[in-house]
Structure 1
Amino acid sequence: MKKLIIGAMMLAAVAQMSAAGKLDLKEITKGTFREATIAAVTPMSDGETYAQISADGKQIVQYSFKTGKQVAVLFDVEKARGAKLKKIDDYVMSPTGKRLLIQTETKSIYRRSFTAVYYIYHVANNKLEPLSDGGPQQTPVWSPDGEQVAFVRDNNIHLVKLLYNNAESQVTKDGKFNEVINGIPDWVNEEEFSFNSSMVFTADSRQIVWIRYDESQVKEFSMPMFHLDAEDKGAYAYTYKYPKAGDDNSKVSLMSYDIKSHQTRQMQLPLDADGYIPRIVTTSDPAKVLAFTLNRHQDCLRVYAVNPLSTTCKLIVEDKVDKYINENVFANLVVTDKHLVLTSERDGYNHIYLYNLNGQLMRSVAQPSNLVVTEVYGYNDMTGDLYFAGYNGGPTDQKVFVSHKDGKVDCLTNREGCSSAIFSSDFRNFLSVWSDMNHPTVYTLCNNQGKTQTTLVDNKELADKYASYDMGTKELFSFQTGEGVQLMGYMVKPKDFDPNRKYPVVMYQYGGPGSQQVLNAWNIGMGRQGAILEQYLCQQGYICVCVDNRGTGGRGAEFEKCTYLRLGELEARDQVEAALWLGKQSYVDKDRIGIWGWSYGGWNTLMSMSEGRPVFRCGVAIAPPTCWRFYDTVYTERFMRTPKENASGYDEVCPIARAEKLHGALLLVHGLADDNVHYQNSAVYMDALVQADKDFRQLVYTNKNHSIFGGNTRNHLFRQCINFMNENLK
């Protein structure tokens, strides 16, 4: 009897260990494998420290850039006098460091826009008071002297003067929903130029300069929304301005407001009637604000020095490139007291160009020639050192570099994998963020020679947890297509991989212009988190693969821009070629290959399944565009020009036109409240499939946007996707 009990206990222990080695989808989607991170880091002006919100959201803590140790608490909700808060969402430090804007009650609008209730915190007397009593605010901006705050409410700019007992005045009066916007971008500018504020103060704090958007002629789009309370049977339409390819955009103009004289002026900015102003940036000169403009084709970038008083605008930099300007130029621009840093692909690779504020080119960072710059961190006016990240020797490993005044470039992070950085304000130290495919992110503090001073977060606990499961192996590979194109990918194989067995394959991809999925980094894959969804599929008996097709980034302008005017054609061809190559591997069942992707990856899935060569047994397209006529002006026309100029590119190269060629079982997924890729895309495509007599399945998520998340949504979504693959590939 004793032996039987011991045997049963041993069997139970083995079963428990086995269960522990298997991944659970619900655990994955609720974040069990999410990394520990260091987020919202703000370098302080002293050059020695940085600030960060505490994990419980109750404090803003100041840390040493050398040791990582706490040196002070800048704000504490429980100790502040005046207004009482439970927690904070974010903060904005004043230029002088004497005050902070404390962000609370944040409510998202679109991808980057939100409203919030802000409070002014006075460091000296520990006092907290409301910024305004008139309702939630958007994008508050400090004046350089730290004595004024401008913000937007209901599409109008307001000004609060702290020296006058927080007196509030309204700067603009013409703002109106769906008609005129002041100081914050409209939907398409926010989404495609990646910013949520378009107003600045001049260096002397005497004027506000902003972009005004007249969207009165932009066409409206409406989405159905449903009340989910059973007692409320109503539904309503959310209507907003969304310009689709070829349609009218907002008319933009550059304005200034003289705070002392209360005079509003319009700048004489040379701009095409349908041109863009993707950024404005203040400089150290009160008579100079930099305005960045693009023509509608987005192949000519101009930088103007704008005088807000005289309204004159002087062209200081012009960059014309083949096909289009890469949008990341705006994310990476740097303006110092004396210099302007811009990136450009004018010589075929994304390189850095340093100008003085009069527009004179001082130097470029373009060696070695195939160096691809991905991030610009800053320029030190004192030393001439320029700090950036990029690829050197291949598109999978990102490193941090410094370019010295004499042109010499040093690598500060030599470790294989992907590194990025946050530098102290004096560039003497930086927070290094590193990971590779097999190691979750490690956060260390380094000096500007790249020497590690201390480790803040190593994610060892996550690594140990990850290792306790039956995880497969991840590896990078490359192959040559039938057209002689070298493509790169990664592969995840099951832990018990048997080279003599034939495995079904699931291919994940995105594939959009300038994007990259194949990286030697931790957060790869459909669910990121160490390719955790791919590992889950491997435990179901699959091999998982991702291939970056032509049009993706990291390999220079020629590789990235070869898809121009015919988005989807070469991308789909390359995904089919990847499937054909996989089918020739001894361990792959060529008749059981599936493909899936989200957004552009959904488009790519549909294009690949209807490319003409029947290589995919099934596919899942989540939130896919299906015709670029349905998508927004800025993104679409950057790569396609307008439908009037390129009708064949829009109408011949799209899933709708290829519905009759669709091969394989299809699951089509969309959020009904997707403000980005409208449900219209799936609706029209489904009708094309019906008319072509093609079977498919559809999955719709009520009131969900492009990210399709909230509550149990992600768990449900991925379960349906994986069940569908199991039905068709097992």
Structure 2
Amino acid sequence: MANGKQYSVLNFDRNSRSTSIDIYDYKTLKKVKTLVNSSDIDMGYFSNYAFSKDENKILLAFEEESIFRRSTLGKYVVFNIQENSIQSVANYKIQEPTFSPDGKQVAYGYNNNLYVKNLENNKVTQITFDGKKNKIINGITDWVYEEEFAFVRAFDWNADSNKIAFIRFDETNVPEFSMDVYGNGLYQTQQVFKYPKAGEANAVVSLHVYDLTSNSKNQVEVNKSYSDFYIPRIEWTNDGNILSAQYTNRHQNELDLWMINTKTNTTNLVLAETDKAYIDVTDNLTFLKDNSFIWTSEKDGYNHIYHYSEAGKLINQVTKGNWDVTNYYGYDEKNNKIFYQSVENGSINRDVYSIKLNGRNKTRLTKNNGTNNASFSANFSYFINTFSSAKTPPEYSLNNSNSGNLIKSIKDNDVLSRNLSEYKTSEKEFSTIQINGNNLNMWMIKPADFDTSKQYPLLMYQYSGPGSQQVANKWNSANDYWYQYLAQKGYIVACVDGRGTGFKGADFKKVTQKELGKYEVEDQISAAKELGKLPFIDASRIGIWGWSYGGFMSSNCLFKGNDVFKMAIAVAPVTSWRFYDTIYTERYMTTPQENPSGYDENSPINHVDKLKGDFLLVHGSADDNVHLQNTMRLAEALIQADKQFDWVIYPDKNHGIYGGNTRLHLYKKMTNFIDENLGDKILKERKTKVNQVKIKG
């Protein structure tokens, strides 16, 4: 909360099926009061909430339904805390309702247009009129922006609550993607939406500003050096007339920060970054009171924090070193401090730090090695730290932001630890492995009754996508419990983060540029060979699996490493980057027209003739992200190459493949496949055949 002494929590009461927004005190951690309870509102329970800037009003979301990964539709009401009253925003489902800074208005998206509701007189003003499905979208991102630039609300209020800046998407020339939805009816239906695949037309984007005082709308033009571009971020500065907008070219190796004076209709390019590979877009831009700004960049080879003047002149580099800043928490104006998270204490760990704006007096605020993540109070006097490691389940504590010292434990998860003690589990062992001239991070899980005199089958897991990380010192993810199950069945499970993964500097991450699937596959094959030399691993029984990018990788590893891997599982794999979207793919590969060899030489489809081992291919038929087309084209290539394989399609399931018994079915399927192709039964059959040959001989 704004007072810096309290925080709010959305609580759910399972017995009454009601939700409430409750206020807690930082120092005592006890509930102080309830602001609103859904049982007092005749609309069912609310599932989300947002405060006005003065915290006198709350937007409550009801009947939310998912559209894509981040976007939702819902019904919304405004709860006035002082008056204890409810006011409907609209009597239909809307998107991204957002308070004006003065709390008197709410802007929202509906049917691809933007609207503003005046909460004082209930008047609704429609500010765009050309919105049309699969044609024009105003103020809400299209599919590819939502997926790859990770935002949905493409509009922003200015500080004076009298202007709204928004991005308009013209999807007219973007090719359509259609997806059958089988459902329960006699005939299937289709979901049709615009999806620009690599090399195809993107939506044409333009930036506009609507003035609520004059009811006028103006398009913003900036003098770019490129014609095909994205606008991945817009944000008003503290000045109600100055809008910041970030533009990037289609290759995403040039990122420009523009300051737009909407009063004088002038534009000023204050920052222009270029990179030989690509530049990541972040949400770290922070404007100080004097309109100087904080910015993060990899320009010195690692991701660090910089301070620039209003005009874009570098004041100083705040953080420095051969390590990456992994999260920027904010700027404490009163104490002139920046709070951030980094991997300075080892690339598999995360710690929280404070540092003065001038780059001095850096303080490590977290004490335990593992993964620390902070949530700060509004005035930065406290932070709630979430800590976990491979050995310690998540612990939540209240800490002093000046020293990092513990004030109070909130939750220690001892119950979880006790529950897990009833099961046979193994330690996740961290190490590094020297592969292709690089020290790669690795973890390994062995059976609890591990015997050095025995040989075990090895299952490798990886994701390997650009900037990703799977080898991290944190508590179990869902898959880790499955790995424990496999380990106790007699498998060794290992994971290696190869070249192209993150948090080891820009060069290590960007080495895969224009060649996705080349160096990453080489590293996994080499790692498997090295691990196969260990006396306790049976080199004839090594398998690999992955999901999405990891499925792309595991397919390539089995095909190209056919003398190393006996089996592979690919779930929802990309099988050709020609089938994937523009923003993600072209960031790393440029276009297929410019780089055909990069696309085709590393596509699993073009290496099916090399398949020798056992292959399980899995996909959801309603995957709007990695389309079923990927699996169908790979399956057809395998069939025409007369290669036997196993596969399963999950009807109407998206990229996550879940719902009902789906995940249970999938993991049983994968476990059985591993048992059939790597397990001890295979070893016994092999030994039996060898003995029969000896007897006959």
- Return the offset for 1:177: 0.5
Whole-angstrom distance in 2 between the partners of 1:523 and 1:619: 23
Decide whether the 8 Å contact of 2:345 with 2:351 is kept in 1: no
Find the partner of 1:637 among 567, 576, 586: 586
CA distance in 1, matches of 2:566, 2:28: 55
Residues 44 and 62 in structure 2, CA contact (< 8 A), matched pair in contact too: no
Is 1:582 matched with 2:531? yes
Deviations 1:303-336 (A, max 9, x none): 1112234432211111112210024xx2333334
Question: 1:138 is matched with which residue?
Answer: 95
Matched, 1:179 2:135: yes
- 531-540 or 507-516, larger mean C-alpha shift: 531-540
Deviations 1:96-151 (A, max 9, x none): 11100001111000000110111100000111221112x10100111111100000
Matched, 1:562 2:562: no
Q: 8 Å contact 1:619–1:665 — kept in the other structure?
A: yes
Give distance in 2, aligned partners of 1:583 and 1:430. 46
Matched-pair contact (CA < 8 Å) for 1:478–1:489: yes
Q: 2:644, 2:148 → 1: CA distance?
A: 35
Instruction: Verify: 1:45 aligned to 2:19, yes or no.
Output: no
CA distance in 2, matches of 1:186, 1:597: 28
Quote how far apart the aligned CAs of 1:613 are.
4.8
Residues 318 and 357, structure 2, Cα contact 8 Å, conserved in 1: no
| Match of residue 160, structure 1, among 117, 123, 126 | 117
Structure 1 residues 335-344 or 408-417, which shifts more? 335-344
Q: For 1:71-220, list aligned pairs within 5 A.
A: 71-79=32-40, 83-133=41-91, 135-164=92-121, 166-220=122-176
C-alpha distance after superposition, 1:564-601 (max 9, x if no partner): 10100111111111111111111111111111110000
**In terms of mean alpha carbon deviation, does 273-282 or 51-60 score higher?**
51-60
Alignment check: 8 A CA contact 1:342 1:354 kept = yes
Tell me, in whole angstroms, the C-alpha distance in 1 between the residues paired with 2:263 and 2:98. 20
In the superposition, the TM-score normalised over structure 1's length comes to 0.90
Per-residue CA deviations over 1:519-561 (Å, capped at 9, x if unaligned) read 000134xx34xx1111011121111111101100010011101
What is the DSSP-based 3-state SS (H/G/I as helix, E as strand, rest coil) of the residue aligned with 2:132?
A: coil
CA distance in 2: counterparts of 1:669 and 1:171, whole angstroms? 45
User: Deviating runs (4+, > 4 A) in structure 1?
Assistant: none
Q: Does 1:484 align with 2:440?
A: no
Q: Given that residues 93 and 100 in structure 1 are in contact (C-alpha distance below 8 angstroms), is that contact kept between their aligned partners in structure 2?
A: yes
Are residue 707 (structure 1) and residue 668 (structure 2) matched?
A: no
Could you tell me which amino acid in structure 2 is paired with residue 269 of structure 1?
A: V
Q: After TM superposition, give the deviation of residue 340 of structure 1 in Å.
A: 2.3
Task: Answer whether contact 1:428 1:447 (CA < 8 A) is retained.
Answer: yes
Give the CA deviation at 1:60: 0.6
Percent identity between matched residues is 42
> Whole-Å Cα distance in 2 between the matches of residues 366 and 662 of structure 1?
48
Find 2:208's aligned residue among 255, 271, 296.
255
Aligned length: 671
Q: CA distance change for structure 1 residues 622 and 331 in 2, over 3 Å: closer, same or farther?
A: farther
- Tell me, in whole angstroms, the C-alpha distance in 2 between the residues paired with 1:334 and 1:496: 53
Letter in 1 for 2:82: A
Report what 1:24 is aligned to.
none
Q: Check conservation: 1:66, 1:429, Cα contact below 8 A.
A: no
CA contact (8 A) 1:400 1:411 kept: yes
Cα offset, 1:270, TM superposition: 3.2
Equivalent runs, 1:500-511 vs 2, <5 Å: 500-511=453-464
The reply on whether 1:305 has 2:259 as its aligned counterpart is: yes
Give the aligned partner of residue 190 of structure 2.
Answer: 237
Q: Is the 8 A contact 2:302 2:322 kept in 1?
A: yes
2:646 pairs with one of 697, 700, 704? 697
Kept in 2, the 8 Å contact 1:300–1:320? The answer is yes
Counterpart check, 1:605 vs 2:551: no
Match of 1:222 in 2: 178
Q: 1:614 to 1:332 in 2, by over 3 A?
A: farther
**What is the match of residue 290 of structure 1?**
244
Alignment-derived partner of residue 217 in structure 2: 264
Which residue, 467, 482, 498 being the options, matches 2:451? 498
The alpha carbon displacement at 1:86 in A equals 2.4
1:321–1:345 contact (8 Å) kept in structure 2: no
Indicate if the aligned counterparts of 1:267 and 1:312 stay in contact, CA closer than 8 A.
no
Q: What is the DSSP-based 3-state SS (H/G/I as helix, E as strand, rest coil) of the residue aligned with 1:486? A: strand
SS at match of 2:120: helix
Higher relative contact order (CA 8 A, sep 6+): 1
2:608 and 2:460 mapped to 1: Cα distance?
A: 21
TM (norm. structure 2) is 0.94
Q: Which residue of 2 aligns with 1:67?
A: 28
Cα deviations across residues 187-245 of structure 1 (Å, max 9, x unaligned)? 001100011111011111111110001011100010111122xxx21111111000000
Q: Among 330, 343, 346, which residue is 1:394 paired with?
A: 346
State the match for 1:332 in structure 2: 284
5 Å matches for 1:398-413? 398-408=350-360, 409-413=362-366
* Alignment check: 8 A CA contact 2:525 2:561 kept: no
- Find the residue that maps to 1:54 and give its secondary structure: strand
Contact persistence 1:417–1:434 (CA under 8 A): yes
Residue 315 (structure 1) aligned with residue 269 (structure 2): yes
Per-residue Cα deviation, 1:27-47 (whole angstroms, up to 9, x for no partner): xxxxxxxxxxxxxxxxx1111
In structure 2, the residue matched to 1:11 is: none
Mapped to 1, the partners of 2:167 and 2:74 lie a distance apart of: 21
CA deviation after TM superposition for structure 1 residue 358, in Å: 3.1
Distance apart, 1:717 and its partner CA: 0.6
Q: Which amino acid aligns with 1:195?
A: F
Kept in 1: contact 2:304–2:325 (CA 8 A) = yes
After TM superposition, the structure 1 stretch with the greater mean CA deviation from structure 2, 305-314 or 638-647, is 305-314
**Does 1:621 pair with 2:575?**
no
1:307 & 1:443 partners in 2: Cα distance? Answer: 44
The DSSP-based 3-state class of the residue aligned with 2:652 is: coil
Change (3 A) 1:435 1:706: same
Contact 2:316 2:358 in 1 (8 A): no
Query: Which amino acid letter does the alignment assign opposite residue 616 of structure 1?
Result: F
Cα distance in 2, alignment partners of residues 265 and 191 from structure 1: 28
Contact persistence 1:254–1:269 (CA under 8 A): no
- For the 8 Å contact 1:266–1:311, the answer to whether it is kept is no
Q: CA deviation at 1:506?
A: 1.0
Gaps of 5+ in 1: 1-43
Q: What SS does the corresponding residue of 2:39 show, helix, strand or coil?
A: coil
1:666 equivalent to 2:615? Answer yes
1:58 lines up with 2:16 in the alignment: no
Shift of 1:274: 1.6
Counterpart position of 1:385: 337
Distance 1:723 1:678, change over 3 A: same
SS at match of 1:163: coil
Report the AA paired with residue 212 of structure 1: R
Q: Distance in 2 between matches of 1:227 and 1:492?
A: 40
Deviation per residue, 1:49-95 (Å, 9 max, x gap): 1111013351111122333222222222234xxx4132111101101
Q: Determine if the alignment matches structure 1 residue 724 to structure 2 residue 679.
A: no
